[in-house]
Structure 1
């Protein structure tokens, strides 16, 4: 396309400038090549390679030299890590401010699809203010049916191993599906038609799940092909981060807009296919596979600055896709680099029916190997691939034991592993907002969170004023309430009392505010409002049920085990592998859990280097290997793996010798 905006060239001087601004260490050849490349290409970046920092550095250089007033850089991912990194590292600079504003767009793939495609399509088809929220959509769909009809329908679904919460659609005709598979009966049946009724009424009310918005995004692109050309000109450079977690549907949509083969936009995709743990085999991206197989269109960064050679050597065999050259390399840790730790990485062998000593062995080992000053560098975690309890009773002696993280510590609560971002009640938003403010010492984010909750209440009693669709909900609410000074003062007074002065919220106080919030929500509606609606959302809820103290990253006492030795102690935080992806730990213990098979028994041959890569493995074991690879590449100093005795029982002596030969230290808990 002639006249398409050009991408600025990145020079050595630019790299020196951003290195000084961001305090980057000497960049090697591969990292400089990533910063300089201006054509369409893919980069596979290993764990701890500083991928997000490199992305931000590249964006800063380009934004500094950007000459186009109405065309910008589009950065897409599954989280807002890149945006947060820009705010943290460059927020005080003019170039950081420039990046976070028009014409550039840095946000999630979901937000991109909604803002530029799905929401315009829905609004032009009679949905002026659709609400995208999984919890709200599921709650609405649950209440579509009458009690008796709903009870029968839910029992039928239960017998099919699913529920109303799983009902969704994948096409614009609202044909019924489940979130993980096809609906279990044909379209002509009364059961199917009952399910479709739920979807039709939900759509008519404007309630959609997050993933359903891709259906409407696809509709706009299909019905108006010129949209793709417009977006390509709007964004001459598209950078997609965490590409390995992009689903088939997401990849196909992006490929239909930004054609990497023939389109005018430059598309640069960054990720690590070995860390693809958020998709099932049915969700694999075959529409536009990553990384590209085209010659010269792929580069890799295989050197990690998170951990040293010892951890790299132990994790490398579990990489499903072998890394180029010598495989995964380690040049870290960046702090306390003098510690090699080759002989300190740990295998804990425990009896099949007894996990009691596993966490204690891990903690004791840490205390033996490190001084307190070194331990202060980071957190210690124990993680498993399965962390939610099963419906069936599983205990010692059961064939699936240990199935999940709770079998290593009975007090483990999966709900406490991270703060609830979508409280079920308005007072839950208040509790969570107060915790956010305590953690960050910044009221803005907490007030914005509470304002989002108030909009959800407004949605439940009527049609929110169109101004509430703005991103800045607090400002939008104050704007809508401005013509009603008493209501505005009431809202401001509540914010001052509970989110600035931080007065603790009690049940008695809350019940006194409920009528006031009904009135406020009514004033935020356009047209008539049912002030008696929203009872469940306005109910009282104890703080512990909805929000947890945010004292540090995942620092929740409910999921912390303390191991002591003499007068010293170490805290071990428990969680799932999925929750810690992207994190850096001081030490990480991979727990054996059960999903079709015991994970330790399926990966032990990669730990002894009897096998490497995922070639020839089925999808279930490929998934295990990817999860194990993610866990083993979190720590800077120490990695540990808990193995069921059955994993090595066939030839214990040989297995122990092979593990020792790879540099593992072994603690055998078996009698």
Structure 2
């Protein structure tokens, strides 16, 4: 992409961001940008412009993100431009905060202090620790943890002496018994054994990174000189721990490196979010070091006006502004943004009402501009029986549609078994995608298997996992041939795999995995991972023979139909929909009961609200800012029953069209 093309693509709102390319904007600066303002496009444009003029050969730009998804999107966009491709190699660094902490801090510390090359994987570390205990020792610790509402997953460490602590409900807490108890000693032993073997969880690597910085504070200055410009994306999702670590390296007040942070504090909906980060808050409180972009090109004024009150932090001086969408802009001022009031004991008609409303409001050509979604704050099932009439009903998305599967809703599935990886690879090929991602996906499962039974060959750390496996297997030609034949048969040709066939192939896969280890291996450590897992239900066929994606409900009215995809608010973050319906779900309280004052316009922002409702408001804001053309909210009747007539009047005065299923 040429400089002229970049300027054209990022005109208008983006032009303000491109002011950062001037010398004045090469230093520390924050950009707080609303949904649909094109944050990622602007970040990539900024980086591409910087790449053209970067003068240093041994120091580079450091780009950090909270998630692999955000990192991959930036890398992908840069990789498609000759200018941007320069940033994908030395001296620059583009990756997650975890990878940065490991590469430059934790791994050097571990290697210099006699620890083996670590395997960093939550599942592998937990399985290794649990399998270290046998018989009564294992059952005894399991029983003790369960009595304290904990599991082995909660046991971790937070200091270099490896003393056990527990991570419970988002917080590190002391181990529930003292150092002299049997349970404490067992927990300490499995953690110590795991560390000596180099098995660590992702979050535990911060312990080593933090200790290195405390022991050798000059490292911060070295890294600041190594990266004179640091750009942090999706800053609102950075945890307190991550923010503190980055602040100790790239001190925004020291001005050694230019620190530029991009995000939206109103979209912080993950538990890792740093809304309590008072030491180095985002965005910066200093006015001339912060830019606010309040104009969205995703949606128009009606949706902006309805979403704006739910912004916990007020947006600029005039609030959220809608200057979109790009397609069918004449179809957004329809006055049909929807509130659906449903009976407390029956939400079965909500999706039908939403679909019928869409069909009445738009013609088929307009509906074809994008996908329609129904999303909720809670979408995972529970073992608790919650039928209609229960005080928690509807608890989650599945109560609105019985065929909903939380597992199928995952955007990036992480199978629990190797057979699950194979099913996922077959899905990729079956859906018409290229073979490469499918083969590499299964190879990632093989890599996890190797980590479960021993220490992987160093070659396997390559990002090109399938090629790495073949490279190692070149030393055993027979196994290489059998591995290739397995991939060809079950992935390329999508030969059906059954429980019986899996039982026959397990031995071969374990033999291959053992040959990919350095030194000894123990295949007895992977029984759970090698278990047979039933394949997911294939996508259903619609009447016209077209596949219906997972978790898609089709609503038909008057010989027309509209598809509504179901999922969670967390999964929808970053997405753009044609229409979005926010479903009322239960977590401590029914969400619609707690946001009705904002829907009515009686309240605005999060001033004076407790943590639970702040989280609820942020989720609502994310949901209401996904669509380009129509937004809806499903409201439990209990939310309005005390003053029904007045509340319905206020909702209509705010611009909501109300469909009442209770009459």
TM-score (structure 2 length as normaliser): 0.92
Which residue of 2 is the match for residue 173 of structure 1? 161
Q: Is the 8 A contact 1:311 1:639 kept in 2?
A: yes
C-alpha separation between the residues in 2 aligned to 1:97 and 1:103?
A: 12
Q: CA deviation at 1:229?
A: 2.3
C-alpha separation between the residues in 1 aligned to 2:405 and 2:225?
A: 48
Q: Is the 8 A contact 1:248 1:286 kept in 2?
A: no
> Helix, strand or coil: the match of 1:244?
helix
C-alpha separation between the residues in 2 aligned to 1:111 and 1:143?
A: 27
Q: CA deviation at 1:428?
A: 2.1
Q: Is the 8 A contact 2:225 2:257 kept in 1?
A: yes
Cα RMSD (Å):
2.5
Q: Is the 8 A contact 2:127 2:452 kept in 1?
A: no
C-alpha separation between the residues in 2 aligned to 1:564 and 1:548?
A: 19
C-alpha separation between the residues in 1 aligned to 2:548 and 2:108?
A: 41
Taking a change above 3 Å as real, the CA distance of residues 372 and 50 of structure 1, as seen in their structure-2 partners, is: same
**Are 1:642 and 2:630 an aligned pair?**
no
Which residue of 2 is the match for residue 123 of structure 1? 111
Taking a change above 3 Å as real, the CA distance of residues 489 and 281 of structure 1, as seen in their structure-2 partners, is: closer
**Are 1:297 and 2:289 an aligned pair?**
yes
Q: CA deviation at 1:587?
A: 0.8
Measured against aligned partners, the alpha-carbon deviations of 1:412-463 in whole angstroms (never above 9, x if no partner) come to 2211211563322223222222323445732332222222222222223332
> Helix, strand or coil: the match of 2:647?
helix
Taking a change above 3 Å as real, the CA distance of residues 291 and 124 of structure 1, as seen in their structure-2 partners, is: same
Taking a change above 3 Å as real, the CA distance of residues 413 and 311 of structure 1, as seen in their structure-2 partners, is: same
Q: Is the 8 A contact 1:562 1:572 kept in 2?
A: yes
Taking a change above 3 Å as real, the CA distance of residues 323 and 518 of structure 1, as seen in their structure-2 partners, is: same
Q: Is the 8 A contact 2:119 2:200 kept in 1?
A: yes
Taking a change above 3 Å as real, the CA distance of residues 211 and 614 of structure 1, as seen in their structure-2 partners, is: same
C-alpha separation between the residues in 2 aligned to 1:537 and 1:86?
A: 33
Question: What are the residue-to-residue correspondences of 1:623-638 with 2, within 5 Å?
Answer: 623-638=615-630
Q: CA deviation at 1:293?
A: 1.2
Match of 2:555 among 547, 552, 563: 563
C-alpha separation between the residues in 1 aligned to 2:145 and 2:77?
A: 49
Which residue of 2 is the match for residue 311 of structure 1? 303
C-alpha separation between the residues in 2 aligned to 1:643 and 1:491?
A: 54
Greater shift after overlay, 494-503 or 51-60? Answer: 494-503
Which residue of 1 is the match for residue 276 of structure 2? 284
**Are 1:185 and 2:177 an aligned pair?**
yes
Which residue of 2 is the match for residue 141 of structure 1? 129
**Are 1:150 and 2:134 an aligned pair?**
no
**Are 1:30 and 2:19 an aligned pair?**
no
Which residue of 1 is the match for residue 381 of structure 2? 389
Match of 2:338 among 346, 353, 361: 346
Which residue of 2 is the match for residue 500 of structure 1? 492
Q: Is the 8 A contact 2:338 2:631 kept in 1?
A: yes
**Are 1:51 and 2:56 an aligned pair?**
no
Greater shift after overlay, 183-192 or 584-593? Answer: 183-192
- In the alignment, structure 2 segments of 5+ residues that lack a partner are none
Q: Is the 8 A contact 2:421 2:441 kept in 1?
A: yes
Q: CA deviation at 1:659?
A: 0.7
Q: Is the 8 A contact 2:128 2:452 kept in 1?
A: no
Greater shift after overlay, 68-77 or 94-103? Answer: 94-103
Which residue of 2 is the match for residue 8 of structure 1? none
Question: What are the residue-to-residue correspondences of 1:602-641 with 2, within 5 Å?
Answer: 602-641=594-633
**Are 1:426 and 2:434 an aligned pair?**
no
Taking a change above 3 Å as real, the CA distance of residues 390 and 534 of structure 1, as seen in their structure-2 partners, is: closer
> Helix, strand or coil: the match of 1:139?
helix
Measured against aligned partners, the alpha-carbon deviations of 1:592-626 in whole angstroms (never above 9, x if no partner) come to 11111211111111111101011111111111111
Which residue of 1 is the match for residue 475 of structure 2? 483
Aligned pairs, how many? 652
Taking a change above 3 Å as real, the CA distance of residues 440 and 209 of structure 1, as seen in their structure-2 partners, is: farther
Taking a change above 3 Å as real, the CA distance of residues 209 and 371 of structure 1, as seen in their structure-2 partners, is: same
Measured against aligned partners, the alpha-carbon deviations of 1:268-327 in whole angstroms (never above 9, x if no partner) come to 001111111102789833342111112311111000011100000000001000011110
TM-score (structure 1 length as normaliser): 0.91
Measured against aligned partners, the alpha-carbon deviations of 1:519-578 in whole angstroms (never above 9, x if no partner) come to 222222222333555333333333228x989x9xxx975522111102111111111111
Q: CA deviation at 1:387?
A: 1.4
Which residue of 2 is the match for residue 72 of structure 1? 60
